Amino acid sequence: MNTFDDLLAAYDRQVQLPWLDDVPPAGRVWLLWFDKSMQRKFTGRIGEFEHTTMKAGRGWYHVDLAPWFGRWIAKHEFFEALVDHPQEIRGLLADAERALIGELRCALGRCTSNDVLALDGCGSLFGIVRVSTLIGKIADAIPGRMMVAFPGKQTAGVYRLLDARDGWNYHAIPIPPDHAL
């Protein structure tokens, strides 16, 4: 298992590399994977990733997804009815996915080709929006790089959020690298 310092060192190596402009969308996504037990430590020390990014001469934007669904559902026109009938929330998940994709595309629109958009709190989306779907629907809008903090497992390009569900294969840059390839 990697420590926080191992993750930061691997990220530092990645952010220092030259960025090519003609990289396909999947190559602009960095999946920083770590054991789910490290989520609180990662979130609490995310400022160290910002510092590392800025030291490398790159811009930094951070989006914490952890409170996103709570804020979204609280603003929903049927919120009061949903409180009494929470089983109905499942019918709104497609709307939630579209709203989150829209918000992330707006955040990416504020970024330049020299910026990292860091997504944290992906575990809070479990059961609401698949991270694989989310990345697939916004990757084409990444002007610089997008670092996704991913609490789970990664082996040979197959990712499993929170060590659950079947894995999904994505051609992102894993941080730390997978040496099992």
Helix segments in the chain, DSSP class H: 4-16, 39-44, 46-55, 68-74, 79-84, 93-109, 131-138
Residue 143 lies in a domain: yes
**pLDDT per position as a tens digit, 64-97:** 999 998 898 788 766 666 666 666 667 678 888 9
Check: CB of residue 151 under 8 Å from CB of residue 38.
yes
Residue 23 lies in a domain: no
DSSP summary character for residue 109: H
Residue 52 lies in a domain: yes
Number of domains in the chain: 1
Categorize the per-residue pLDDT at 181 as very low, low, confident or very high, splitting at 50, 70 and 90.
very low
Residue 21 lies in a domain: no
Compute the CA torsion angle 14, 19, 23, 26 (nearest 10 deg): 30
> What is the model's pTM?
0.85
Q: Is the pLDDT of residue 180 over 50?
A: no
Residue 22 lies in a domain: no
What is the domain extent for residue 86?
Answer: 4-16+28-175
Strand 158-161 with 145-155, pairing: antiparallel
